[in-house]
Each structure stands twice: as structure tokens, then as C-alpha cells.
């Protein structure tokens, strides 16, 4: 019988889960739950429905495991499944009728913007404002790539788009960020550690 230490990567864990391993399923749950919840919370805007959607996703995975095949990108598969679940919840359940769009656009909060000095709340708020100026689809792509570390191909799988369209959209988002004069000044004076800006922006 395999123990938890045997599941040292998603692929092995997924294969064991499909074979019926409760331990592998538990590992997948513990590994990905928080990231999926944060994504769901941004999409539906509420804490409890976000938890419910993620829990429902894992429930459906377990009961339907005999009809699920092996996947290349486990994390992308989970995000895609959650995205579909969120859309179904909003369509069929009364409690989601007050939500404006499906899905809600991803937004960034000042608390997620990491500066060298965490006391610079005003600067963090300005950076979050600049990120939130991006079109909602671009914000979602930036979030998946630089906060969840998904590849362009994985993002394409999650959003149901082709690879090149994702690459082009993220490139346009970065270009737009580079053109923001206020953001340039903040980077110069604050030494931002936000990956999307630190890694991709050239001044």
C-alpha cells in the first residue's frame, strides 16, 4: 500500500487516485484546495459559495473517477473543472442570480501586492488599481500565469482558448502595464517583487 510520501508529484498522485487510492485523493485535495478556493472566491465574490464549489468539484471527481482518464496537466484540469462548476452553479442555483456576469472578473487586492516594505499601503493600492485596469480576461490570464504559475498551454486548457491567443493576450497585458507611467515610478521607488512586473517588465 502506498503512503503519502509516495505521491511526490501530481501525475503519480492522479494515477493513484484513479486507481481508487483515498490517500492520493486526500493529497490532491490538500495540495490544490487553497489555490482553487482563491480562484473560486474571485469568480463568485463570496466565501461560502466558493468553498462549496471547490468541495463539489472534489466530490464529483471522486464519484466519477472511473470515467476520468489520465491528464497531462493536473492543476490545469482542476482549474478548468472548477470554472465549469462555477458556471453551472450560477446558472442553476438561485443564490447566484444576483451575480452580474459569469464568471466574475478576477480582481487584485492591495494585500496581494508584495513590496519590499509592507508599510507602503498606498503604493500597493495603486499597483492593484493598475492591474485592475486590464480587461477582465487579461486579468484572469495574468492571475493564472503569475499567481498560480500555470503555463500558457495550461491556461489555454482552463479557458478553452488556443495557445497563441493566450500568449498574445498576456503579451498585450504586459505591454499595457509597461506603458503605465505611474507604475513605472512605483517600480523605481518601491522595488516591487510582484512576479508579473519583476520578471516581465523592462524599463
What is the Cα 134 distance to its own chain's centre?
Answer: 16
Q: What is the pLDDT of residue 167?
A: 94
| Digit-coded pLDDT (tens) for 71-124 | 889 999 999 999 988 877 665 454 444 434 344 566 666 555 554 454 456 666
Domains 8-96 and 110-200 share a fold: no
Judged by phi (left if over 0) then psi (alpha if -120 to 50, else beta), residue 160 lies in left
Residue 104 φ/ψ, nearest 5 degrees: -65, 150
The grid coordinates listed for 99 are: 451575480
Radius of gyration of the chain (CA): 19
Residue with cell 473543472: 81
Topology classification of domain 110-200: Arc Repressor Mutant, subunit A (1.10.10)
- Residue pair 4/27 in contact (Cβ under 8 Å)? The answer is yes
Helix, strand, coil percentages, rounded to 5, for the chain:
70, 0, 30
Please check the confidence at residue 30 and state whether its pLDDT lies above 70. yes
Give me the residue spans of the domains in the chain: 8-96, 110-200
Q: Tell me how far apart the alpha carbons of residues 108 and 38 are, in angstroms, rounded to a whole number.
A: 11
8-96 belongs to which CATH class? mainly alpha
Amino acid at each position: 500500500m502506498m503512503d503519502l510520501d509516495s505521491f511526490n508529484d501530481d501525475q503519480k498522485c492522479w494515477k493513484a487516485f484513479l486507481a481508487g487510492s483515498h490517500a492520493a485523493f486526500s493529497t490532491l485535495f490538500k495540495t490544490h484546495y487553497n489555490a482553487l478556493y482563491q480562484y473560486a472566491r474571485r469568480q463568485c465574490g463570496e466565501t461560502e459559495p466558493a468553498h462549496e464549489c471547490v468541495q463539489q468539484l472534489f466530490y464529483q471527481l471522486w464519484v466519477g473517477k472511473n470515467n476520468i482518464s489520465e491528464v497531462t496537466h493536473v492543476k490545469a484540469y482542476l482549474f478548468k473543472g472548477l470554472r465549469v462548476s462555477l458556471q453551472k452553479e450560477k446558472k442553476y442555483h438561485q443564490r447566484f442570480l444576483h451575480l452580474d456576469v459569469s464568471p466574475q472578473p478576477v480582481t487584485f487586492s492591495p494585500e496581494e501586492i508584495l513590496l519590499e516594505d509592507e508599510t507602503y499601503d498606498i503604493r500597493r493600492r495603486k499597483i492593484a488599481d493598475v492591474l485592475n485596469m486590464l480587461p477582465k480576461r487579461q486579468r484572469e490570464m495574468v492571475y493564472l500565469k503569475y499567481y498560480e504559475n500555470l503555463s500558457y498551454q495550461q491556461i489555454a486548457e482552463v479557458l478553452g482558448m488556443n495557445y497563441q491567443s493566450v500568449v498574445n493576450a498576456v503579451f498585450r497585458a504586459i505591454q499595457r502595464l509597461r506603458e503605465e507611467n505611474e507604475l513605472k515610478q512605483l517600480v523605481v521607488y518601491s522595488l516591487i517583487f510582484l512576479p508579473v512586473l519583476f520578471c516581465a517588465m523592462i524599463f
